[in-house]
Structures are given as C-alpha cells and as structure tokens.
Chains A and B, each alone.
Chain A
Amino acid sequence: NAGVMQNPRHLVRRRGQEARLRCSPMKGHSHVYWYRQLPEEGLKFMVYLQKENIIDESGMPKERFSAEFPKEGPSILRIQQVVRGDSAAYFCASAPGLAGRGADTQYFGPGTRLTVL
C-alpha cells in the first residue's frame, strides 16, 4: 500500500511565476490536508479538502493561493505570482475520513520544497 505521494519533490520558480504542487493520497483515503513548513518551524495548516469540496481553507492566504481535489486525479495546491516569502516546504497529508478509531489520523507525504528566486 503506497503512502502519500507528492510531486515534484523540489520546485524552483522565479518571482511572478506559478507553482503547482500535486498530492496523491493513500489508497482509500478521501480527505486531504495541506500544510506549510518554514525553516526551523512547525507545520502550519493551510486547507482541508474532500473530493470536489473545500471543507476548511482558514489557513490559506486570501490571494494567489488556491487548492482543489477533483473527482479524478491528485489534489493540487496552486500558487500564482510567487514571491520569495512563498519559499517553504509544502506537505500534504491524507486521512481515511471514516468513523471509528484511526479515522482522522493524518499520514504525511514527503513534501515539495519550493524555492522562489
């Protein structure tokens, strides 16, 4: 059973370009979470999605950032017109989302390290 997959692992963009980060959840998981980690810091929640629905985007910047989790395919975190402050590691986590013990345990992918030049 493959774990959470993220690609690319490393992404370099120049200021003003767009960044697209992809996340494929674990098999059987229907809940996806995106977190951002700055150097020497903990992870900060950005957005929580289920298939075709954004459940909680309270941690997402109001501008330039968007996320989707389509019926088919991976979840996408999109950052438009990147700035240097967007440089960070972006992690995706997935959870089964079913009732019962372990339903909400989040398992993390390896992350995408975004560098904005």
Chain B
Amino acid sequence: GESVGLHLPTLSVQEGDNSIINCAYSNSASDYFIWYKQESGKGPQFIIDIRSNMDKRQGQRVTVLLNKTVKHLSLQIAATQPGDSAVYFCAELLGANSKLTFGKGITLSVRP
C-alpha cells in the first residue's frame, strides 16, 4: 500500500549550518510531492513542492531533490535559523485533486 516515511525522528543542527531532511516514499506512481513545516499549535505550512518530472527545485533557502529511482525525497535548508525549528513532513499526492499521504514527521531543532 501507499506509505511515506521519514528516516530519522529528530535532527539537531547548529545555527548557520545546512540541514538535510530525508524522506522515502513507496508509491512509484505518485506524481507530486510537497514539504510542509508545522510549528507547535499551528497548521502545516507549505514550503516547497516538486513534480515527478523534475529532480530538483529551489526556493528561498530551500531546495527539494527527488530521486525517483530509489523513491527518495530530501529537503535542504541553507543557513539554518532558529525560526526553522519545527516538525517537517513530506507528503505525496497521486493524481490531481486527490488526498495527500503524509509521513510521520521529523523534528528539526536548531542550536544557537
């Protein structure tokens, strides 16, 4: 069945360093992937997305990489800041206007 999972439950990084958050997905037919950030007591906030016909997409300080061969997704955050501390979820979508399947989430903790 479909599943989206994250390799590590927590990630601690030094302020200013780069962060890499990894995600594995099992449904090779998924064609759209999104990274969300969730701060305590808030709803998931859209960070960046990528379609299956791409392998890299860059935003402001964030980059998403997609490796369809091994069904792997990663989120890179450059120059990590204290405000980046949150739980990060990857989510996959199969087909337009359908449900998102989320992983369990990884907590990013930024050390000052």
Q: List the interface of chain A (C-beta within 8 A of B).
A: 4, 6, 31, 33, 35, 40-45, 48, 55-56, 58-59, 91, 93, 95, 97, 103-111
Binary interface encoding of chain B residues 98-112 relative to chain A, with 1 for a CB under 8 A from any of its CBs, else 0: 111111110000000
Chain A min CB distance to B102 (Å) = 4
Q: Which 6 A-B pairs have the closest CB atoms?
A: A42-B102, A108-B43, A45-B99, A108-B44, A43-B102, A42-B104
Chain B residue contacts of A108, Cβ below 8 A: 36, 43-46
Enumerate 24 A-B pairs (CB-CB under 8 Å) in ascending A order. A4-B43, A6-B43, A33-B99, A35-B100, A35-B102, A40-B104, A41-B104, A41-B105, A42-B104, A43-B91, A56-B98, A58-B99, A91-B43, A93-B100, A95-B97, A97-B97, A104-B93, A104-B98, A106-B34, A108-B36, A108-B43, A108-B46, A110-B43, A111-B43
Chain B residue contacts of A35, Cβ below 8 A: 100, 102
Chain B min CB distance to A50 (Å) = 8
